[in-house]
Each structure stands twice: as C-alpha cells, then as structure tokens.
C-alpha cells in the first residue's frame, strides 16, 4: 500500500477523516512500476498477457471473508453484520468503494471508509499467513508463457497491496524479463482511483504496449468491459466467478491459455 491511496466517494474531495486514514497507511513495499519499454515491433502478434486476479489467477474469497469478518466483529456499528463466501464472490471485481456500499449501506460514508480501510489492512496480513488458492496449473502456465516469449502483467480493481501480496504468495518476482521477472508490471484501482479500462490503458502506455499485442484475461462482465474500453481483446476464464457476453476466446482452465494465444495470433 502507499500513502497516495484515495477512496473516490462520488468524486468529492477527500474528507479530513479519510486523510487521517491515508496518513497511517504503510508505504508500498515495491519500488514502483517497471521501466518504460520501447513499443512492440510486431503489432500482429500477441506478446503481452494482462491478467485479472480474483477468479483468474486465484480464489481468495474464503480467506478474505474471514479477514473482513474479524474487522466487522470489532466495530460496534457492524458487529451484527455477517458476510459469507457467497457474498464475497458477489463483491469480487468491484472497486472497494462499490463493495463498501454493497456491504455496509446503512452507515455513514466516512465510517464505511474507516471500516473498509481496516478490512483491507487485516486482509493483507491474513493473506500473508493464509494464501489464496491459486488455480491448478497457474504457476506452470505463467512459466510456460515466459518460455514462449510472452510478457505478463496484472490489472485489478483491488486495493493497493493486494497484487503485491499475491506476487509474494506465489513466489514470483516483479520486474522486467531481462532480470527474470515473473510479472513485469501491474496496476490497480487502489493506486490510481481509476477503473479497470483506464488502468489497462495506463499500464499499456507506461510499458509501450500496442493494442494489437495485448490481451486481457478475466472472468466477469466488468473485465470484458474494461478490455473493450482499453481497445484490446478479451479472453474469458470460465472457471472463475462471473459470466460475459462476447469474449474473443474462452478457457476452461488456465493451462489452456498458451494454445489459445497461439490461435489468436494466427
């Protein structure tokens, strides 16, 4: 997490209470984005795979539910609120502000912000002790993608710190392929306050990636819409949490991805 995190509540200025929340947040554990690359030379080939997180790389619903419930039980205003894993599946893919409205509609905006901040901080700690469940074949697929010359990126609507925790839990290295990085760069709502389509474009611009060379892999209609907004092709991970309308391709398990990428590049 970094000190620039903002909840975007109806695009109003952050209140004094929220500013206090920001000041007590730890600094990001990572030094920053990957260095900007030169633009892709062969625009007809898919060379860059951008992943969603929840429902695509791993399923952390069980762990996050437990972490958030601990926080809700501690606050007098929410001690009667009980959330389930099924609730968490409904929340996955939404921004943290949207989740706060869905989960805690009956309390003030500022109190929701404070409680959600506590939830995120406890979630980060909990996931370090209880990793999310990576989908079968995930590690092997990421390794194979690199062996076949692809670069790997992540964009999610999650809070800052969540992708870093996933990277650490996987034992991956964040950095360019030249230093054997497993994930070249990432972006999220928690760092920018922007939604998925804008963050995909931001990551592409930062790394000099052409639209033709990129695909986004995700599992929900929000992922599909984000890819469309960024102008890139979308691959639907049908093993995840949601449904989509018109993906460019479908994978039923993550290990199918390399073959699908080869077909799309022809």
Asked whether the predicted pLDDT for residue 178 surpasses 90, the reply is no
- DSSP reduced 3-state for 181: coil
**How confident is residue 4, by pLDDT bands cut at 50, 70 and 90?**
very low
Q: Is the pLDDT of residue 6 over 80?
A: no
Question: What is the per-residue pLDDT across 140-161, written as a single tens digit (0 to 9) for each?
Answer: 999 999 999 999 999 999 989 9
Give the CA radius of gyration of the chain. 18
Contact indicator for 230, 195 with CB cutoff of 8 Å: no
Q: How confident is the model at residue 179 (pLDDT cuts 50, 70, 90)?
A: confident
Confidence of residue 12 (pLDDT cuts 50, 70, 90): very low
What is the band of 93 on the pLDDT scale with cuts at 50, 70, 90?
confident
pLDDT band at 92 (very low <50, low <70, confident <90, very high): confident
Percentage of the residues of the chain whose pLDDT score is greater than 90: 77
Task: Count CB neighbours of 125 within 10 A.
Answer: 12
Q: What is the pLDDT of residues 99-141, one digit of tens each?
A: 999 999 989 999 999 999 999 999 999 999 999 999 999 999 9
Torsion of CA 6, 7, 10, 16, to 10 degrees: -80
CB-based contact 252:239 (threshold 8 Å)? yes
Would you say residue 224 has pLDDT above 80? yes
> DSSP string spanning 8-39?
-STTPPPPHHHHHHHHTSPPPSS--SPPPPPP
Percentage of residues of the chain with pLDDT beyond 70: 83
Domains along the chain with CATH numbers: 32-58+133-264 (3.40.50.1000), 61-129 (1.10.150)
d(CA 95, CA 113): 13
For residue 37, what are the contacts with CB-CB under 8 A and spacing of at least 6? 176, 207, 208, 209
Give CA angle at 79 (164, 116), nearest 5°.
Answer: 30
The upper half-sphere exposure of residue 134, i.e. CA atoms within 13 Å in the direction of its Cβ, equals 17
Over residues 207-227, mean pLDDT:
97
Q: Which residues, listed in sequence order, are joined to residue 50 by a DSSP beta bridge?
A: 153, 216
In this model, does residue 163 exceed pLDDT 50? yes
pTM across the whole model = 0.82
Dihedral over alpha carbons 189, 92, 27, 121 (to 10 degrees): 140
Q: What confidence tens digit (pLDDT) does each residue in 54-74 have?
A: 999 999 999 999 999 999 999
243-252 pLDDT per residue, tens: 999 999 999 9
39 or 204, which is more confident: 204
SS3 label, residue 242: coil
Residue 16 has pLDDT above 70, yes or no: no
């Amino acid at each position: 997490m970094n000190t620039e995190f903002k909840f975007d509540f109806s695009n109003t200025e952050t209140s004094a209470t929220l500013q206090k929340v920001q000041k007590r947040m730890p600094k990001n554990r990572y030094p920053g984005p990957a260095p900007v690359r030169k633009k892709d030379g062969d625009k007809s080939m898919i060379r860059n795979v951008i992943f969603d997180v929840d429902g695509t790389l791993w399923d952390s619903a069980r762990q996050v539910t437990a972490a958030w419930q601990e926080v809700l039980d501690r606050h007098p205003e929410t001690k009667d609120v009980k959330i389930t894993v099924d609730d968490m599946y409904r929340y996955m893919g939404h921004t943290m502000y949207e989740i706060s409205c869905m989960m805690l509609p009956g309390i003030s905006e500022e109190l929701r912000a404070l409680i959600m901040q506590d939830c995120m901080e406890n979630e980060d700690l909990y996931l370090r002790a209880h990793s999310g469940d990576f989908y079968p074949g995930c590690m092997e697929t990421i390794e194979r993608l690199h062996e076949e010359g692809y670069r790997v990126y992540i964009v999610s609507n999650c809070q800052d710190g969540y992708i870093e925790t996933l990277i650490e839990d996987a034992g991956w290295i964040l950095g360019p392929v030249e230093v054997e990085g497993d994930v070249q760069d990432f972006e999220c709502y928690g760092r920018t306050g922007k939604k998925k389509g804008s963050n995909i474009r931001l990551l592409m611009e930062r790394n000099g990636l052409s639209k033709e060379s990129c695909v986004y892999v995700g599992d929900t209609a929000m992922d599909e819409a984000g890819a469309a907004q960024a102008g890139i092709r979308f691959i639907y991970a049908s093993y995840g949490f949601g449904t989509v309308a018109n993906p460019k391709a479908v994978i039923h398990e993550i290990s199918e991805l390399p073959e699908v990428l080869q077909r799309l590049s022809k």
